[in-house]
Structure 1
Amino acid sequence: MEKQDNLSIAHRYLSNTISKVTSLPTHELKNYNTAENVNSFFFTHDFGTYELEAKFSYCEGSPQKVALLIHGGNSDLSSLTPLEELLRSKNIATLSFNLSGLNNTSETKSSLSQNINESMTFYSLLKKVDIVIGYSLGGYIAIHLAKKFQIDELILLCPAIYSDLAINKMYGPDFKNEISKPYSFYYSSIWNFLMNYRKNVLIIYGELDGVKTNNGKSKGFYEINEVTKYSPIPYEIVQTFKTISMRKANFNLIIEKDKDHYLIKNIRKYNI
């Protein structure tokens, strides 16, 4: 009965091509907790030579909105659980999914370009999308979705920006070498797109992310009062978003005090 109920919910909000849903994930997730998956179900989508798993999380009754969530690098959809819980408390249903090449759920080699296409596919599975939220690398992908689709609300959590050359580099040494080049993020057509973008954009960074260096690269891991913090976003990226938000009324930038790149872990405390 539960499977049928979930399938009915799937067909209400997702493409009718989805024929099977499960209460538990079929792939091992990094931060999976059964207790956190109430009112949710999983399904897989076939990409030909590989498949990716997705999770739909819903609230009691009819949700006011539906959000697509995109995780960051070196993680999977389970990293978005705190965000799912926050949105569910606000009567917002969510679809999250695994990206290839960034976790152990698929063995295929991948790239940003491939992840962008995967995200577009999952976006298209939803009958309605009100909000797109991307975290870190997922923020960069979310911007690419905004280039393709009409998105009413775009939310970028600690977004990364990559050079145009990085898009087609396979994850591994080639990709790392490209994004490690000093100031390479300036060579991105994304900046011009954002300057001309007219929909609402909310950007949130932790103040301990985007720490200033003298080499055009990110700070990475560092310590404050013997506590390890993480700043993978170069200082100049955050400053550029500050400049854009001052020039454009549709951009709202929030800097969360005393938080680093891992602010999503405590996302329930923030004003989203």
Structure 2
Amino acid sequence: MQPGTPQRLKWQFDEPAPGQEQFIEEVFGNYRQQARLLVPDIERAAPAFVLGGARSDFTRLNPLLYRLQAAGIGSLTGNLSGHSLASEPGAASPSLATNLEEAQRFHSHIALRCRTLIGHSLGAALTLKLAARLPDVDSIVLICPAVYPDEAHQAPFGPAFTAAISKPFGFLDSDSYAFLRQFQGRVLMVIGEYDGLNSQRFGKGPGTSAGNLWLAGSERYSPIPEEVTHALMQAVSAERLQCLFLTDCDHGIAAHLRSTPAIADQVADAVATFILDGS
């Protein structure tokens, strides 16, 4: 554990935390990655482990994680290869499989206490894979969740990865749905109103994403196929599933929470309640 870091200049958002922050540096062969642990002044639940989305570092979800920290719930979030300036140089040819191994190494620092995983977008796909390896996890928060074909996890980020995740309905070829069907814990899904839209309504083929659109007077980004959201919901029994739908929000939920503090307060309250109810 380190109390500070020289990497701050590479962070996407250098904002003061509402409490103590500590840093973990892990060595992966010939490269290093860093994680940040947010420590609440008065702890009300064990720290959650958080996996961010593509092109994000551990500061992207500050609007949620800082509010959780202030509410007594800490979190550990790692920078994963291939996604941000803060994670460079990272692995030589990173993939989802690389990220999953990095995540599990970071998670080991809080594994004896951690029972909650939080995953955002691409990080949600990794969260489901990680949860399948962790029998003590009993609460999962999926924020604008993505799911990718199992074969895509080995593909290096770039053209090979894009090709692997672009096949219509390819996302159904994932064992994460089977994992959720047998998972005995609770799941909270947080979804933007304009994400997971029906692609055929906007002239795209079935089993694909609607992409970038102009809706309700604004440009919207809906990269998650509608069928992914439905498949995830159907994989979790009604008594174990909670859903939070955010109006006027697309896939860019982190930016939405940053620009609308009152909504960020409500989302953080809902996530905190979900975590505390299971502790």
Task: State the TM-score, normalizing by the size of structure 2.
Answer: 0.84
SS in 2 for 1:94: strand
Segment drifting more, 226-235 vs 261-270: 261-270
2:122 is the counterpart of 1:137: yes
Among 145, 156, 174, which residue is 2:142 paired with?
Answer: 156
RMSD between aligned alpha carbons?
1.8
2:37 is the counterpart of 1:56: yes
> Which residue of structure 2 aligns with residue 251 of structure 1?
241
> Which residue of structure 1 aligns with residue 173 of structure 2?
187
**5+ unaligned residues in a row in structure 1: which ranges?**
1-17
> Which residue of structure 2 aligns with residue 222 of structure 1?
213
1:221 Cα deviation after fit: 1.8
**Match of 2:53, as an amino acid?**
G
> Size of the alignment, in residue pairs?
252
Segment drifting more, 116-125 vs 233-242: 233-242
* 1:75-114 equivalent positions in 2, closer than 5 A: 75-104=56-85, 105-107=87-89, 108=91, 109-114=93-98
- Give the number of the structure with larger relative contact order, counting CA–CA contacts within 8 Å between residues 6 or more apart: 2
Deviations 1:52-71 (A, max 9, x none): 01111111134432111110
1:226 Cα deviation after fit: 3.5
SS in 2 for 1:85: helix
**Match of 1:26, as an amino acid?**
Q
What percentage of aligned pairs have identical amino acids?
28
2:201 is the counterpart of 1:212: no
**5+ unaligned residues in a row in structure 2: which ranges?**
258-263, 272-279
Deviations 1:251-272 (A, max 9, x none): 2222222211122341333222
> Which residue of structure 1 aligns with residue 277 of structure 2?
none
1:37 Cα deviation after fit: 6.6
Among 254, 257, 260, which residue is 1:264 paired with?
Answer: 254
2:46 is the counterpart of 1:65: yes
Deviations 1:170-199 (A, max 9, x none): 111000011011111011111111111111
Check conservation: 1:64, 1:92, Cα contact below 8 A.
Answer: yes
CA–CA distance in structure 1, aligned partners of residues 182 and 113 of structure 2: 25
Task: State the TM-score, normalizing by the size of structure 1.
Answer: 0.86
**Match of 2:105, as an amino acid?**
T
